[in-house]
């Protein structure tokens, strides 16, 4: 899961690109990068947070231009090397730059085909480089100096044909315009915004609507599943359409966006993330009631679970307290690359307020329980702070299966809930009781925000994958790749 942004504006965009990326920092903290255009490409990228990569004036003073792309990286395919940081670009044809959010599930076979059949050399282990080369190969054969929208649609069709999985993409074709598209099932989010209150229209494309709000774009919408948008640089005209072959694909956005990844002030597929989490808290309260537990206080695991925990406490008529203080200079532990880093960071990131735990029966509320390491550390903190009993509630259903669409859950062994009942899970994390949200309630909390949504990608909760290419052989290949990438990160 990464954060992407593309801007076409009337003044230098670097400061606004940086502001947009800061709005998306929660989506990735391993690397960051920016590319701008003023007749040539200017690129700056590196490992770490945005503040690390763009720490001085010298880091941005050469990033000139009114058009630009930005990216914050959270690795799935590829490792944690500088070579895997985005944006990427190629000089032929035209000069094309790219950023993406998601995962190409057939990356290894696609890479082999590009290298052996198309004679293209790939410099990184990042799947976006494969998408870029497929797109560039399709445009290389057009007969004129500028691509038409029809030819861009054909190039995206070539990407859909060859690159399987889930991805949202922003490209810039030098001197011609911005291109954006969302995978045929719309699994990964993408938002398109326009401003017409200036002498020329201005455009923004980003992973979340919070970027639009941050940059003053009041007119924005979701990019539809399989939709292609082209913004002509000279005319500032917008072209949009769908690849005909993929029009019949169902729209199945990732449910985990509302559970954890997206900011609460964002709209994903017209659903307010904050409100969906409030409803998840309301429905979770109904589950907690069934156990008739003696609870003194409800305490959220900050920050994503706060909205649900407040509503849960209200529904049950219980005290709500902020019992865990978060150090905001430590990143999100879920998206850290290894178990040791996550466990260590939890202890640095959270500190208990002893008075809220001592001699109390505490209900801790979190968004999910994935590997169990974080939950175990937090339960231990509560006990060390003097809690009499510690109950642990997740406002999402049990996670049991790997995600191959861009979330860092790619090996079966990672899931504490896989093959275990709630008593076994409680024992492993040290809690007196574990309570999960039923999957139907989790989905209903999002449906309430947009009754036109028919389904979601919920493979990590069900083990059923919505795209046809996921096979036993592919799963083994992806898991082996992930193990190698983790080893490389841990040894670097």
Work out the angle at residue 126's Cα, subtended by the Cα atoms of residues 109 and 258, and round it to the nearest 5 degrees. Answer: 105
DSSP string, 234-296: TT--EEEEE-GGGTTS----BTHIIIIIS-TT-EETTEEHHHHHHHHHHHHHHHHHHTT---S
| From 2, 185, 194, 377, active-site residue | 2
In the sheet with 297-300, reading across from the earlier edge strand, the strands are: 319-320, 297-300, 361-366, 389-394, 433-436
The percent helix, strand, coil of the chain (3-state, each to 5) is 35, 25, 40
CA distance 237 to 239: 7
Would residue 2 show up in a list of annotated catalytic residues for this protein?
yes
Q: How many CB atoms lie within 10 A of CB 312?
A: 28
Kind of pairing, strands 31-37 and 41-47?
antiparallel
38 is in an annotated binding site: no
Q: Does 80 count as an annotated binding residue?
A: no
DSSP state of 91: -
The 3-state DSSP class for residue 369 equals: coil
Beta partners for residue 319, in sequence order = 297
DSSP 361: E
**Closest among 134, 141, 143, 152 to 232, alpha carbons compared:** 152
Q: Return the closest-CA partner of residue 66 out of 17, 24, 132.
A: 17
Contact 170, 156 (CB under 8 A): no
Total length of the chain: 492
Residue with tokens 């939950």: 375
Residue with tokens 């945005």: 50
**185 known member of a binding site:** no
Question: Was 403 annotated as part of a binding site?
Answer: yes
Q: Is 294 annotated as a binding residue?
A: no
At a CB cut-off of 8 Å and minimum separation 6, what does 49 contact?
25, 29, 32, 331
Under DSSP, the state recorded for 109 is H
- C-alpha dist (Å) from residue 21 to 24, 68, 77, 206: 5, 12, 21, 9
CA 382 – CA 425 distance, rounded (Å): 17
Residues 6+ apart with CB under 8 A from 410: 76, 402, 403, 404, 478, 479, 482
d(CA 113, CA 115): 5
* Residue found under tokens 């999910």: 368
Binding residues for [4Fe-4S] cluster: 254, 403, 457, 460
**Positions at the binding site for Mg(2+):** 304, 366-367
Query: Which residues are known catalytic residues?
Result: 2
The annotation places the binding site at 254, 304, 366-367, 403, 457, 460
């Amino acid at each position: 899961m990464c954060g992407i942004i593309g801007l076409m504006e009337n003044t230098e965009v670097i400061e606004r690109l940086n502001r947009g990326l800061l709005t998306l920092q929660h989506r990735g903290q391993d690397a960051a990068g920016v590319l701008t255009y003023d007749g040539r490409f200017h690129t700056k990228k590196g490992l770490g947070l945005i503040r690390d990569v763009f720490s001085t004036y010298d880091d941005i003073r050469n990033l000139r231009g009114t058009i630009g792309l930005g990216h914050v990286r959270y690795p799935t395919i590829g490792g944690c090397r500088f070579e895997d940081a985005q944006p990427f670009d190629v000089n032929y044809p035209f000069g094309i730059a790219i950023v993406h959010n998601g995962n190409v599930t057939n990356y290894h076979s696609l890479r082999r085909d590009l290298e052996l059949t198309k004679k293209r050399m790939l410099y990184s282990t990042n799947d976006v480089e494969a998408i870029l080369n497929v797109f560039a190969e399709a445009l290389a054969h057009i007969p004129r100096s500028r691509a038409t929208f029809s030819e861009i649609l054909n190039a995206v069709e070539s990407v859909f044909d060859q690159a399987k999985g889930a991805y949202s993409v922003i490209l810039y074709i030098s001197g011609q315009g911005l291109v954006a598209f969302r995978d045929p099932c719309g699994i990964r989010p993408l938002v398109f915004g326009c401003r017409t209150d200036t002498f020329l229209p201005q455009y923004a494309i980003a992973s979340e609507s919070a970027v639009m709000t941050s940059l003053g774009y009041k007119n924005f919408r979701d990019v539809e599943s399989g939709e292609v948008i082209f913004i002509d640089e000279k005319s500032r005209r917008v072209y949009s359409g769908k690849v005909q072959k993929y029009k019949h694909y169902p729209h199945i956005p990732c449910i985990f966006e509302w559970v954890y990844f997206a900011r609460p002030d964002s709209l994903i597929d017209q659903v307010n993330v904050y409100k969906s989490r409030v409803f998840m808290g309301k429905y979770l309260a109904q589950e907690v009631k069934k156990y008739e537990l003696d609870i003194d206080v409800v305490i959220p695991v900050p920050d994503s679970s706060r909205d649900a925990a407040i509503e849960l406490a209200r529904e049950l008529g219980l005290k709500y307290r902020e019992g865990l203080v978060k150090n905001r200079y430590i990143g999100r532990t879920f998206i850290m690359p290894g178990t040791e880093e996550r466990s260590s960071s939890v202890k640095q990131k959270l500190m208990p307020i002893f008075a809220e735990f001592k001699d109390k029966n505490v209900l801790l509320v979190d968004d999910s329980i994935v590997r169990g390491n974080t939950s175990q550390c937090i339960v231990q903190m509560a006990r060390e702070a003097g809690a009499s009993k510690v109950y642990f509630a997740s406002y999402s259903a049990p996670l049991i299966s790997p995600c191959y669409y861009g979330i860092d859950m790619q090996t079966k062994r990672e899931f504490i809930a896989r093959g275990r009942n709630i008593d076994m899970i409680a024992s492993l994390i040290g809690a007196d009781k574990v309570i999960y949200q039923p999957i139907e309630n989790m989905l209903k909390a999002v449906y309430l925000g947009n009754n036109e949504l028919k389904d979601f990608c919920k493979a990590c909760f069900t083990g059923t994958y919505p795209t046809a290419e996921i096979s036993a052989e592919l799963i083994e290949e992806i898991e082996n790749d992930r193990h190698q990438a983790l080893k490389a990160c841990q040894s670097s």
